Every structure is written in structure tokens, then in C-alpha cells.
Amino acid sequence: MTVQQTSVGFQDSASAQLWDRDHSLISFNERVFSWACRDDVPVLERLRYLCIVSSNLDEFFEVRSEPHLTAARSGDKRGSFSVKSFQRLSESLHHLVERQYAHYNDVLLPALQAKGIRLISHGERNAEQRRWVKQYFEREVRPLLIPVGLDPAHPFPQVANKALNFIVRLGGDDAFGRSNEIAIVKVPRVLPRIIRMPDALAGGGAVFVALTSVIRAHLAELFAGRSVGQFSQFRVTRHSDLAVDEDDVQNLRMALRQGLVHRHYGEAVRLEVSASCSAHLAQFLLKQFDLPELALYRVHGPVNLVRLTQMIDLLERPELCFPAYKAPAPVQMDLSANLFEQLRRGDMVFHQPFESFEGVLLFLRAAVHDPQVLAIKQTIYRAGADSTIMDLLREAVRRGKEVTVVVEIKARFDEEANINWAEMLESIGAQVVYGVVGLKTHAKMLLVTRREGKQLKRYGHLSTGNYNPRTASLYTDISHLTADAALTQDMENVFVHLASQSKLAPLKKMWMAPFHLHKQLIKKIGQLGAAAASGQSTRLVAKMNSLTDHALIAAMLEAAQCGVQIDLIVRGACMLPAQVPGLSERIRVRSIIGRFLEHSRVFYFRVGTQDELYLSSADWMNRNMVRRIELAWPVSDPAQRQRLIDECLLAYMHDGLDAWEMQPDGSYLAVRGQAPHSGHSAQTALMARYALHSAEQAKE
């Protein structure tokens, strides 16, 4: 097997030469792209991974590229951003996009065609198919299109972020005898980007047409009396990170809602056009959006590959997708017994999506319907637009329970949904809190207070992931249900702090950002280093999504030089240089890209025979440590701790199929097919383990 590698750039650091975060993110997307290239992955899933890369790149441009572009325009170096950084970043991005479209055209389209699935252009359509497309255009598309001819009275129109448009160069004069030659056709978002033809016209299999192809074939009909010369589809990506001065607004919710209106029209950062777009039209668009040449991306296909997921959704071909996996009920949960009684006997841990998120819903549902439950408190970061959790909270209010919800309305790209939920809950009498000014509430916790005899007893749910049933079936996360008095008291203290903004009461078990988490992690790493220097056996294993915090990186490099063996399982961006001689030989960094998105955060510390394991909502990034409300908490039960070590750490450290290992030069090497790895996939093994448990449940 050919070795696959990806590279990242350098960035100066006071402690060591660290890898650049943005190049590391591109490297991560190259690893995701590798799944679109794997022959052992079903073809529709390969197409889905291609779309995921495009979606990730969209977000990268919306959030990460603006500082590089601004520095390039000014010619000044601004921290790590400069003309050179913009050039290097653009080179890497252009290379990845070119590989994407080459793979789409040369590999995936032929592979789909071999399975009877075709996406056909105008030139490939027969006469009957062209008649159907024309009828579709006249019936569904043309009534929604308004071509805009540009002149002093009709300047270049506002073009929304990531919206599909056409630019057309016209010949002849307009109705008033003027020779204005440029027109813009904005394509409404309500129109489907992929259309399936009737089976009667498909000749067997499934035939699709792209909306861009439909419009392109009938562009001339939109400009009566004019000739259509050059034309191209185009899409502009805009900087979309909302910036609200929280210290200078009276109502954060209203300020954010107003900001959402303008997000679609932020500063342009990328322009995508068809590969055949003329130099004249491309330069015209670059000038309109004030973009340099390197911000122009010529693509051989749809300007938005993300929309190809619509084609997957329109097909009913399960044999071309991953085998269906139905997550069983949580192993530790007895569905026939009272849940609160079970928790009094001991904590429960769920490993999603291998175990069902339904366990979390059952906990909340039990609280809602139990007349002895007096109060429910919950944080919401990403709940989604259609949320069972919110329906249950609404029912809890209706039943007279005290419901307090900390809604993070600054959750990027989920702001509108969260604002809507907050307003709904407030309207029915729930206490809604928006967290702490200047900080995002990223912690995930649910606390239930229940009357038991003459006492009040608390039950809690803590999670590494979000309260979103859809993503809970796609992301790996850990849910922890507990009746531990110290842990639930800590949760109560955090809720009181978030609601009242009063001083945080001392926490007995939890670490909370921005107060303790960063310092405690550095302290733990330092203790490992001191123990290793004194000759004791030590180990640090940490699983997270991103590692970019300089202080934590410096602490680990120092601990490794003292003798600590460190294994890091970092899915995405990682700035720590691993396996560098004389610096980090004892540090190994792995990235797992699999069927599910790795999302759980698990931290393991061992000195001699004494070990500790923490779960957390936080990645090891500066923003998580100082600009967010985050939690980390210990798993005290030895059996549960060992289970998490086995499933979340050891399984991934020995993955020989879906893992990539960072090399001393910052590249990532796929371990697949490399000795001594055996081809074991951690995710596949966990699915098999829990599927077996599900089969055993069915027999009982």
C-alpha cells in the first residue's frame, strides 16, 4: 500500500517549534478525504466523506481564513498571519480542492455509474430527458429567477454567503439600447441542488441532474433579445464569525439576533467559479469582492460539493452504504427497574453511539414524569432545531417542576436555533440563563433534584458531548449518570454560579474552566514529570479533538523529557511536535478517522500503581481553558474506569486500520497495512461488541 502523508507548517513558540494550527486543520481534512479514497468503504459513503471535507473547508474559510487574508492585503505581519502565511495556506487549500474534484470526476462518478447511478450533464441527456428538464425548468425554476443586468441604476447585487449564482456576459443591446454586458442570476436556496429524473427516463438505475446544469442549459431564455456569451456559476464564502461586544450591549440575545442578519454578508474570503470561467469574468468578480488571485478557486464540477448529499438522500441503496447499526440500550441500565433506584446503587456510564442516546432521554423522561422530582437544571450548547430534549423540558414546566436552562446562544452556527429555544422556554415559564458575559458555556450537565422522604436527593448527567440526538448517533461521546453526593453538589454549585454570577463555591471533585481546569491539568502533568524524574513508572494518555494550548504543550514536552510516556489521541488540529529526537521521543500522537466522528475527551494519569481518569467537555485549547465554562470530572468506580480505559484509550492506541500517526516532520502516516499493525479497527470492534450485547438482550 502506498504510504499516505500530509504536511503542516511551522510556527515560532517560546518553548519549542510548534506546528501551525491552520495547516494542522488542513492536514486533518486530508485524513478525512482519505476515506473517500478507500476501496473498502461503500461508494455512497465515500461520496459522503467527500462532502464532509467540503463542509469542513467551508467552515474553515468562514472562521479561520480572514486574519491571513487581512494580513496579505495590508502587507503587514500580524502575529502568525502574514502575506507568506496566506500564500502557504492558499497553496495547501488549492492542492486539497484540486484532489477533491479530480477524485470526484475520475473515481467516484465512474464508480457510481458502475452501480447504475448517473449524474448527467446537458450534453449527455437524450431528447426525451432534455424535454423533461425543460419542463422542470419552466415549472419549478424559472419563476424564481430574477436576472439582474448591471448598470449605474442596478449595481452589483448583494450576494449571500455560500449562495449559488451565475454571472453572464451578454452581447447586443438591452431594451433601452444600452450595451451593459454583465448580468447576475441569483439562485434561491429553496431550490434543490440535485434533482432525480423519473425512473421511466432513467433507462434502468437512477439518473440525476444538477440544478446548475438545468439553469446553464436555459440561460439564454432568461435574456430575451440578447446573446449569451461567457458565463459561469460562482459562489462566494464570507467571514462568518459573529463579533458582539458583550460589555457594550444591553441585551445579548437581541444583539446576536441582529448579528445573524448580517452574517450572510460578511467580508468575502473565497471565490469559487467553474473551471471554464473566462479570465474576464473571474477578474470582474475578484474586483467586486476585493479578493486577490489566490482567493479564486476554479472547480471542475459543482461549486458546492456539500449539496451532493442530497443525491445520497434520494437513493434507497442500503447496499452502497455502511451496514445499518442499531445501538442497544445502555448495558448498565435495566429498562424494567426504577432508574433512580438503580443510580442509588451506583453510577452508570454510556459509550455513544455504540450504546443508545436513549439512555439520556430515559433519564430526563423519568425526571419529567416522576411526581417526586421538584427541579431540573440543564445546560444547552447544541440541541438542534428539532429537539426531543426541549420537548421534555417543556413538559416538565407544564407539570409544575422548576426548570432552569443555561442556553449558550453564542454556539457557533447554532445561535439562531438556541435563541429560538430560549425564547420558547422563557415564554412558558422556565428560568433561562445565558451564562457568563465573555465566556461560552460549553459544559454539558443535567441535574435533577428529587424529594425522597424528608430529604432532597440529587441525580446528575455529565457528558463529553451535546444534548443532540442526531449527532449522538454520529459522534463518539461518554455519558455519565451519577447520584454521587459530592459530584452532584459540585454540579449544583456550578449552576448557582452561572445563574447568579456569584463567587463559585469550592468544588470537591470537579475541575472547572476558567478557574481550575487549566491549572489542575498543568499540575497533574508536572506531578507525572516529578515522579518520573524520581524513577517512578508514569503514564499520561489523553484523548481529545484538538491540542493547541501552548502551556499544556510545554508541560507535556517537559514531562516527556523527565521520562513520562505520553500517548495522545487527537482527532483534529495538533500543534505538539511528536517523536522529535531530543525533544519528544516519548510522545506519540495518533489521529483516528472512522465511521463515527471521534468526540469524547478522556484524560488518564498514572504514577506507579495509582491511576486517575477524568472525563471532560474540554479540548486542550486556550479558548477552552480561559474563554469557556468547561468541566472535567473523575470516574471513581474502578470497573467503570477500566472499561473506559479499554474502550476509549487502549482500543484506539492499538487501532491498525483507521489510525494515523504523527511523524517527526509533522506529517501523518496511515498505519493501515503497516507492520506490526493487524488491521484492527476500534470503532468496528466496539460496534461488534455492543451488537452482540444487543442480540443477547433480544434473547432474554
Q: Which segments of 529-600 are extended strands (E)?
A: 538-544, 565-570, 587-592, 597-598
Q: Do the beta carbons of residue 660 and residue 472 sit within 8 Å? A: no
Segment holding 73, helix H or strand E? helix 66-74
CB atoms within 10 A of CB 342: 16
User: What is the rounded (10 degree) CA torsion for 374, 380, 386, 387?
Assistant: -30
Residue 653 burial (CB < 10 Å; 0-12/13-18/19+)?
middle
Counting runs of H as helices and runs of E as strands, what totals does the chain give?
22, 29
- Three-state DSSP class for 594? coil
Q: Output the DSSP codes for 463-482.
A: ESS-S-HHHHTTEEEEEEEE
Q: Which helix (H) or strand (E) holds 98?
A: helix 83-103
SS3 459: strand
Report how far residue 124's alpha carbon sits from residue 144's, in angstroms, rounded to the nearest whole number. 26
Whether the CB-CB separation of 115 and 317 falls below 8 Å is answered with: yes
Which single residue is written with the C-alpha cell 472499561? 643
Cβ 108 vs Cβ 197: under 8 Å: no
Active site residues: 442
Q: 111 and 119 in contact (C-beta within 8 Å)?
A: no
Question: Cell numbers of 535, please?
Answer: 524513577
Q: How far is CA 521 from the centre of its chain?
A: 25
d(CA 502, CA 653): 43
Q: Cell numbers of 506, please? A: 469550592
Complete DSSP assignment for 18-39: EEPHHHHHHHHHHHHHHHHT-T
Q: What CA–CA distance (Å, rounded) separates 422 from 439?
A: 18
User: Which residues are bridge partners to 628 per DSSP?
Assistant: 440
Report yes or no: 649 and 541 within 8 Å, Cβ to Cβ.
yes
DSSP 636: -
DSSP, collapsed to helix, strand or coil, labels residue 145 as coil
On the 0-12 / 13-18 / 19+ scale of CB atoms within 10 A, 587 is buried
Torsion, Cα of 277, 281, 286, 289 (10° steps): -110
Q: Which residues of 118-155 are buried (b: 16+ CB within 10 A; e: fewer)?
A: bbbeeeebeeebeebbeebbeeebeeebeeebbeeeee
* d(C-alpha 683, C-alpha 647), whole Å: 9
- The values of phi and psi at residue 507, to 5°, are -100, 135
| Contact (Cβ atoms closer than 8 angstroms) between residue 615 and residue 645 | no
Q: Are 273 and 303 in contact (CB under 8 A)?
A: yes
The single residue listed with the C-alpha cell 449544583 is: 492
Contact 406, 498 (CB under 8 A): yes
